[in-house]
Amino acid sequence: MTRFRAALAFALLLLLAAPFVLPPYYVTLMLPALAYGIILLGFNLLFGYTGLLSFGHALFVALGAYTVAVMSGRLGVKSLEASIAVAVVVSVVVAVPVGLLCVRYVRIFFGMLTLAFGMLFHSFLFKFYNLTGGDSGIPVVRPSLGGMDFPGLDKTAYLIGPFYFYSLALLLVLAYLMWRIVHSPFGTHLRAIRDNPRKAEYVGVRVHAFRLLAFVISAVYGAVGGTLLAVPVGLADPDLAYWTHSGVLVFMTVLGGFGNFFGPVLGAFVYVALQDQLMSLTQYWRFALGVVLILIIVLFPTGLMGLVERRHSRARPVTEQGDA
């Protein structure tokens, strides 16, 4: 436990120091990783803790991105907090009916239904040109952070300065909230549902209602992360809702390890770094990423975090499972 805390403190220190030591390019690269970190914390509440694998989670990411685009680009509301608040409301309004239908199914049926909703939303974004800008999307105007516009900063300085720390702070706050949730009685019930829904019902767990609640919470995290994702790009486009983007979320989660609370966050950072490096090396970077995914699943099914944990526990004498 002390080792865990030390590792956490070290990671936090790295994240705080990054803008001061890393070249600006790499700092901008960390922005999507921070946003994906938030998205995946929510995604993994559903997948790792409740046992529901969504293939349409990008829907909520896109919802967040389009919210900040409409707010800043169309309505002229520059406050990012306002955009985030609206994104939360919009994601809840969408997630409740979608979730009500989806959580009645499990395993592949749940996955296919969420995929279908994701595709529906993608078509909507793509075809309703007047409302959504079609394939060209909606531009995101640089939002103000906590009421401050930072007029003296150019785009890069804004992104690697205030926006970086804003994103990091949001990730930390939301990670703390999620940590409380997964360790709470509610979180215990979610894991009971994941492990054995039939048995869970017989010990009084409200299986459907809690799956829905987990779905809605994960949607909110997806939308909040989505607003952050759209700002550095400066655009919300339909690709954000495309099913391959949902696939990327699954990839990151498996890469980092869904059995660990921080696994998906690690996965987000490693994926973003990997993609950047591979893209600069070869145009066949998707092929290389595919190979990485295969290797992870075959060799390290518990992901990178699982790898770290296993090494750690190997180094310790076994104390728990011996005969009492």
Partner 1 sequence: MSAVLETRSVGKDYGEFRALHDVTLSFSEGEVVAIVGPNGAGKTTLVNVLTGLARPTRGDVLFRGRSIAGMGPVRLAQMGMARAFQLVQVFPQLTVFEAIATAVISQQRRSLDLWHATQAIDAVRSRVAQVADIFGLRERLDGLASYLSQGEKKLLDIATAFALEPQVILLDEPTSGISSSGKRVMMDTLMEAARKTGIKTLLLVEHDMDLVAEYSTRIVAMTEGSVLADLAPAAFFADPQLAATIVGKPHAGAVA
Query: How far are the Cα atoms of 156, 165, 186, 214, 233 from residue 68, in angstroms, in the given order?
Result: 19, 18, 31, 24, 12
Rounded Cα distance, 9 and 312, in Å: 17
Please, which residue, 127 or 180, has the CB nearer to partner 1?
Answer: 180
**Listed residue (145, 140, 147) closest to 163, CA to CA:** 145
Please, which residue, 203 or 298, has the CB nearer to partner 1?
Answer: 203
Is position 211 an interface residue for partner 1 (rule: CB under 8 A)?
no
Taking the complex as a whole, the smallest distance from the CB of residue 189 to partner 1 amounts, in Å, to: 5
Is position 206 an interface residue for partner 1 (rule: CB under 8 A)?
yes
Is position 194 an interface residue for partner 1 (rule: CB under 8 A)?
yes
Query: How far are the Cα atoms of 96, 197, 214, 264, 302 from residue 206, in angstroms, in the given order?
Result: 16, 10, 12, 27, 29
Is position 96 an interface residue for partner 1 (rule: CB under 8 A)?
no
DSSP notation for 131-179: HH-GGG-EEPPPPBBTTB--TTS-HHHHIIIIIHHHHHHHHHHHHHHHH
φ and ψ at 144, to 5 degrees?
A: -85, 150
- Which of the stretches 7-15, 89-97, 156-164, 205-213 binds partner 1 when contact is defined by CB under 8 A? 205-213
Taking the complex as a whole, the smallest distance from the CB of residue 125 to partner 1 amounts, in Å, to: 32
Is position 181 an interface residue for partner 1 (rule: CB under 8 A)?
yes
Is position 184 an interface residue for partner 1 (rule: CB under 8 A)?
yes
Rounded Cα distance, 292 and 286, in Å: 10
Q: State which of residues 107, 127, 155, 180 lies at the interface with partner 1 (CB under 8 A).
A: 180
Is position 219 an interface residue for partner 1 (rule: CB under 8 A)?
no
**Listed residue (285, 262, 186, 284) closest to 33, CA to CA:** 262
Is position 280 an interface residue for partner 1 (rule: CB under 8 A)?
no
- Which of the stretches 89-97, 134-142, 181-189, 240-248 binds partner 1 when contact is defined by CB under 8 A? 181-189
- Which of the stretches 19-27, 95-103, 192-200, 221-229 binds partner 1 when contact is defined by CB under 8 A? 192-200
Angle between helices 207-233 and 24-44 (to 10 degrees): 170
Please, which residue, 8 or 291, has the CB nearer to partner 1?
Answer: 8
Per CB under 8 A, residues contacting partner 1 are 180-181, 183-189, 191-192, 194-196, 198-207, 210, 320-321, 324
